[in-house]
Structure 1
Amino acid sequence: MKIATYNINGIKARLPRLKEWLEETRPTVACLQEIKSQDDGFPGDELEALGYQVITHGQKAFNGVAILTDTKVVPEGAKEVQRGLGIEGPKDGEGEQARYLEVDVAGMRIACIYLPNGNPHPGPKFDYKLAWMARLRQRMAAIWSEEIPAAILGDYNVIPEDNDVWAAKAMASDALMQPESRAAYARLLGDGWTDAVRTLNPRGGVWTYWDYQAAAWQRDHGFRIDHILLSPELADRLTAVGVDKEHRGREKASDHAPVWALLKG
């Protein structure tokens, strides 16, 4: 079984690229971030035509997450468990942003997350990022207590270590690399969750994001912020991980590449 995460950076702008990726790689479960679409505007019918069930937690123009399930492999599809973490956005009266979606599928608990970026740092957006990570940790602990195989996939907006970025000095002031961000991510691993990509690539050097600016893609100036965290039950089933880097180089591609993990059984 293949599970994957893909920050699509706007479903309407990237739909052809998303459909290509789904048809060419056929993940069983795909978690999407930054769909930038309300639920009723999401082009679910086109993905259903490919054999995918679609569950969305959208928001107009910003954020938004979705989980796609291959019904050819899992005919019953996925069942929604929770949307949102119950944490207000950084602006007064803003309400909760669409950043979290959790389902049960194929005997697993899958959560799709789009963690706040946190820039500019310092400031209220960075404070919101840390508060969101603390709330995420609480939810992950609750999932852990249920003792079911679980995976938390998505754009964490955290560069965990210096070998997860092309040049640590270039990103030193960014919210993605602040000690507080890294410490919050490390606490998740300390709770017993396994970073799938790190486990099979201990030396680092694996990028999942390349900015549109400064020819970052052409110069391979990237970093790793899209992660798959596995509970012990799924970590024991991990056989392979990968980044579909080639899809980042296609016309009108997202600035992220899809990241996947292969699980036996």
Structure 2
Amino acid sequence: MKIATFNINGIKARIEALLDWLKEAEPDVVALQEIKSVDEGFPREPIEDLGYRVETHGQKGFNGVAILSKLPLEDIRRGLPGDDEDEQARWIEATVIGRRAVRLCGLYLPNGNPAPGPKYDYKLAWMKRMKARAEELLKLEEPFIMAGDYNVIPQREDAAKPEAWEKDALFLPETREAFRRIVNLGLTDAFRALHPEAGHYSFWDYQAAAWERNNGILIDHLLLSPQAADLLKSAGIDKDTRGRDRPSDHVPVWIELDA
């Protein structure tokens, strides 16, 4: 089972880029972020024509997440539990039915800038809710994955120029500590478990020739429960998609499970 996460940065602007990648990479399941579309406006037909079921949790002009799956989906839920007043579309869950059932949580974690401030407070509170959801899922002792754009640079090796991010909400000590608290529940950072060396990135800003200079950061992650980590076979980053026409500023990160 090949599962990917991809911040598409506007589904309507990047639909052709997404379709090209789906045809080439042939993932079984994809967690999309920043679709920037209401549910009824999502261009599902060309994706469905490739054999994917499409489930969305959209929002007009901002945020928005989706799951694309060639495999059956069950128990689809939208929204991160813990705050009934949170109207931002940043979380979607479904159970993927393969040879092994795997719970997939697709997430778009808040950016948090400027920090300090209310946006950063929202980011940290959101991460506490995510930790609570992980604790609930761990009690089930079943395979699950939390995949998405975390807007977190976990360690210095995850940035080409870490000193440039020291005052940014993505790299502040409180952010990295909140991320570690989630991982330390017993989750595995799938890509880093197989590729611990520096120099791997999933995001390059559109400004200052960041792509051309390889001035990137790794902020798209897949965290695996112990039961899912036992099934992990491989992981990778489809870096070349960033150099194509009208690319997202993110690239897909993927794993393969024996599921």
SS in 1 for 2:198: coil
Cα pair 1:86 1:96 within 8 Å, conserved: no
Give the distance between the partners of 1:232 and 1:88, measured in 2 at CA.
27
Match of 2:228 in 1: 234
Residues 18-29 of structure 1 mapped to structure 2, 5 A cutoff? 18-29=18-29
Match of 1:117 in 2: 111
Cα pair 2:81 2:133 within 8 Å, conserved: no
TM-score (norm 2): 0.96
Match of 1:105 in 2: 96
Residue-by-residue CA offset, 1:49-77 (whole Å, 9 max, x unaligned): 1100000000000000000001xxx2xx2
Give the distance between the partners of 1:236 and 1:229, measured in 2 at CA.
13
Give the distance between the partners of 2:93 and 2:137, measured in 1 at CA.
10
Match of 2:12 in 1: 12
Moved over 2 A (4+): 86-89
Q: Counterpart amino acid of 1:100?
A: W
Q: Counterpart amino acid of 2:141?
A: E
Give the distance between the partners of 1:204 and 1:49, measured in 2 at CA.
38
Give the distance between the partners of 2:82 and 2:203, measured in 1 at CA.
27
Selected match of 1:96 from 81, 87, 98:
87
Give the distance between the partners of 2:9 and 2:83, measured in 1 at CA.
22
SS in 2 for 1:228: strand
State the shift of 1:80 in Å: 3.7
Match of 2:155 in 1: 161
Selected match of 1:175 from 147, 151, 169:
169
State the shift of 1:174 in Å: 0.6
Give the distance between the partners of 2:215 and 2:83, measured in 1 at CA.
34
SS in 2 for 1:50: coil
Q: CA RMSD in A?
A: 1.2
SS in 2 for 1:176: coil
Match of 1:83 in 2: 78
Match of 2:121 in 1: 127
Give the distance between the partners of 2:230 and 2:83, measured in 1 at CA.
36
Give the distance between the partners of 1:86 and 1:187, measured in 2 at CA.
18
Q: Which runs of 5+ in 2 are unaligned?
A: none
Q: Counterpart amino acid of 2:201?
A: W
TM-score (norm 1): 0.94
Residue-by-residue CA offset, 1:214-257 (whole Å, 9 max, x unaligned): 00000000000000000111111111110000011101000000
